[in-house]
Amino acid sequence: MAGEAARMLVERRPADLGVAITKSSPTDVVTEMDTAAEQLLRKMILEQRPDDAFLGEEGGANSGRSTVRWVIDPIDGTVNYLYDLPHWSVSVGVEVDGVAVAGVVAAPRLGETYTAVRDAGSWCNGVRLRVRPPTDLGRALIATGFGYRSERRERQGVIVGALLPRVRDIRRAGSAALDLCAVAAGRVDGYYERGTHDWDRSAGALIATEAGAIVQGFHGQSASEAMVLAAPPGTFTALHDALIELGAGAPDY
């Protein structure tokens, strides 16, 4: 179903695609295709699972009669999609009693589909995923993302500027789900971001966890809007401690 939504987003993307609405700020955009993809996913899922609950980025939350909840981001990386950059994905996570049990992140313009099942591993196009070996922070390639509100980006810019001399380099690709998958695939050594939502993390966090990453917030808390950190053990601790030292745990970050 994620693959079908992804194909629709590629094949039906208008040449003159524009912004349908904005959310938290003028740069937090929704396109007509975000809405169309989420509607398609809900329709396909409900045909087979009519009693399940939903949490979608564009459609909000709907309660169900079962213990299963589908967590959907129809386009993770909407600004990339708007600009016709390839780094965007369809993210679909499945929870049972609040615990993620399966996830798919489909990136059609990259030709990649990531999947995971709890306690059964994670995969990309049929190849088993494994995080990179732990490394010291000075040799770590770190992915991150930034918020939509200018005041938050200003503070995040200060933090990332202070972190940059301590690491190998920084990457900002524009899709939290794919950043988590990049940790799982060993393409980066770690990832951190403030401001992500359940739909950004649900599938990608499970994919990274099943590949051997620690995925948490600060001080052992669960990953949340306040912070998500993902890295192999060892690298995780070094990144966590550096970010705390630099003030990324402060309420105004």
Q: Which of 78, 113, 115, 196 is an active site residue?
A: 78
DSSP category for residue 223? P
Q: Would you give the end-to-end CA distance of the chain in angstroms?
A: 37
Which residues 6+ apart lie within 8 Å of 170 measured at CB? 141, 142, 143, 144, 160, 163, 164
73 is a catalytic site residue: yes
**Gyration radius (Cα) of the chain, Å:** 17
Q: Which of 45, 72, 75, 207 is an active site residue?
A: 75
> Which SS3 state, helix, strand or coil, does residue 73 take?
strand
Phi and psi at 123, nearest 5°, equal: -145, 155
Which H or E element spans position 67?
none
Cα 45 to Cα 184: distance, rounded to the nearest angstrom: 27
Q: Are 169 and 141 in contact (CB under 8 A)?
A: yes
200 is a catalytic site residue: yes
CA neighbours within 13 Å on the CB side: how many for 160?
A: 21
57 is a catalytic site residue: yes
Q: Which of 34, 38, 52, 57 is an active site residue?
A: 57
Q: Which of 38, 52, 76, 189 is an active site residue?
A: 76
Write out the two tokens for 102.
């399966």
Q: Which of 52, 58, 73, 189 is an active site residue?
A: 73
78 is a catalytic site residue: yes
Q: Which of 200, 207, 214, 235 is an active site residue?
A: 200
21 is a catalytic site residue: no
- Which residues are known to be catalytic? 57, 73, 75-76, 78, 200
